[in-house]
Amino acid sequence: MVEKDKIANYFLRRKIFSSIMMFNGLWSRENPSIFYRCIPYCAISVILIAFYAAINHIRIHITDLKLVMKSASVIFSGIAALAKLMCYTFYRQDLDKVRYTLDSLVQEQLDGKLISIVLKPLLITQRFFKVHVVSSYMVGVVIIGIPLAVALKQNLLSTGPINYPQFTPLDYGFEVARGSVMYFLSLTFEIYYLTAGICITVGVDNFFLFYTCELVGQLCVLTHQAKNMKTSEMTYEKFVKIVKTHCQLIECKDILEKVHSPIILVMFTMNAIVLCSLLFTMNQAERITVKHILSLLPHICSKILQSAAYAWPGTLVIEHSKEFQDAIYGCGWNEFSDNKRIIPFIMLIVMQRTMSLTACSLLLISVDLITSLLNTTCSYFLLLQSMNEQE
């Protein structure tokens, strides 16, 4: 792929997920309108109403474990979306700082030879980004599109009474007659709730993936500069520039960690429960049909990919930070003419802890979390199975 295509893909990818984030008002805009500022709070209100309706549905069907788990999955998915929405609304200025810092560094390198190094981590995750977006929206298509298509087909063919669909197991505390105005209002509410949840998930997950990969790309640039230092060309000023850039990356890493720590902690817990719920629902079916597979498989894939969107970049940060430290130590600094002033910086970089991302200082964010997620899901599933057998 030529350089122009790589740069074009970079800007296209950023435009896609930024447009998705604008649906919920999470992407900062210059001079936003009052309406745009209110969008996140509207989404928060919708999620809280859905929580109430799902809890009410659980209360009514408390003896039916299958229906309880369906409503619980709505709550758990909503909790993860709410955590993302609130963190991005509260830490908007900090996230803008990360965007400005990393995008400015990329802009400085667009016309140089380093741009291919910067964009390499982003290109590696390009296919993952596409699969994650498609699988997430496939969940929406399965939940919303298929029931609507069936109802529309019945209406057009006039094959008996129309089976009006309900997308989510919610009970609002009052009777909603199928085909009434109130029914269509509740249907619109559920469509907005599901669409907002998917857009929050896709937007926030890919913001983290995109800017963490940008950070990794800048670490790759620093590593490249350290490995290709020539004793005759290295000056104190050039080395200080490397150190300053590294300090900027550490600051960006700290902000990403601060904003996403509660998100990751909540999301991995909720994803384990939701995956368990989906497996339990499939297991309770009398027979596995194509409809079951089409309805559950995209949901399961999206949850695993959602978790991987955080775990994979965490591993990349650790690996490339360690690689940068090794490159600095092995750059031949002892041969520099001004090595007495450079040595303190060498020690500062080499002796500090390798850069890594943690969730609330409890979880190291790496690919090992995927294994932990699957193990936890299996544990919850076996627990539910034993509870169901006892009944």
- pLDDT at 254 > cutoff 60: yes
Query: What pLDDT, in 10s, does the model give residues 74-130?
Result: 888 888 889 999 999 999 999 999 999 999 888 888 777 778 888 888 888 888 888
Q: How far apart (Å, rounded) are the C-alpha atoms in residues 330 and 174?
A: 71
Q: How far is CA 211 from CA 96, 169, 177, 256, in A?
A: 11, 36, 47, 9
- pLDDT at 350 > cutoff 70: no
**159-163, 242-246, 288-292: lowest mean pLDDT where?**
159-163
Q: Taking all residues of the chain, what is their mean pLDDT, rounded to a whole number?
A: 81
Of all residues in the chain, the percent with pLDDT exceeding 70 is 84
Query: What pLDDT, in 10s, does the model give residues 361-380?
Result: 888 888 888 888 888 888 87
For residues 338-360, give the mean pLDDT: 72
Phi, psi of 159 (to 5 degrees): -95, 80
Contact partners, residue 208, CB within 8 Å, separation at least 6:
256, 260, 309, 310, 313
Q: How far apart (Å, rounded) are the C-alpha atoms in residues 306 and 205?
A: 7
Say if CB 39 and CB 24 are below 8 A apart. yes
For residue 97, the model assigns a pLDDT of 93
Q: Which long-range contacts (CB under 8 A, 24 or more apart) does 285-294 make?
A: 294/142, 294/146
**45-59, 215-229, 377-391: lowest mean pLDDT where?**
377-391
Nearest to 94, CA basis, from 265, 321, 257, 312: 257
Q: Residue 57 has which token pair? A: 């549905």
Residue 137: band (very low, low, confident or very high) from pLDDT cuts 50, 70, 90: confident
Q: How far apart (Å, rounded) are the C-alpha atoms in residues 243 and 226?
A: 11
For residue 32, the model assigns a pLDDT of 85
Q: How far apart (Å, rounded) are the C-alpha atoms in residues 172 and 177?
A: 12
Select the highest-mean-pLDDT range: 2-6, 71-75, 136-140, 207-211. 207-211
**DSSP states of 61-121:** TTT-HHHHHHHHHHHHHHHHHHHHHHHHHHTHHHHHHHHHHHHHHHHHHTTSTTHHHHHHH
Say if CB 286 and CB 185 are below 8 A apart. no
For residue 98, the model assigns a pLDDT of 92
- The bridge status of strand 358-359 relative to strand 363-364 is antiparallel
Residue 158: band (very low, low, confident or very high) from pLDDT cuts 50, 70, 90: low
Query: What pLDDT, in 10s, does the model give residues 185-213?
Result: 888 888 888 888 888 988 898 899 999 99
C-alpha 243 chain-centroid distance: 30
Say if CB 223 and CB 41 are below 8 A apart. no
- pLDDT at 291 > cutoff 70: no
Query: What pLDDT, in 10s, does the model give residues 39-62?
Result: 999 999 999 988 888 888 888 888
Say if CB 148 and CB 166 are below 8 A apart. no
This prediction's pTM: 0.85
Select the highest-mean-pLDDT range: 2-16, 159-173, 232-246. 2-16
**40-44, 161-165, 240-244: lowest mean pLDDT where?**
161-165
Q: Residue 209 has which token pair? A: 């993936």
For residue 95, the model assigns a pLDDT of 92
Angle between helices 181-227 and 126-140 (to 10 degrees): 170
Q: How far apart (Å, rounded) are the C-alpha atoms in residues 228 and 206?
A: 32
For residue 327, the model assigns a pLDDT of 80
Residue with tokens 């309406």: 35
Contact partners, residue 275, CB within 8 Å, separation at least 6:
300, 303, 304, 373, 377
For residue 56, the model assigns a pLDDT of 87
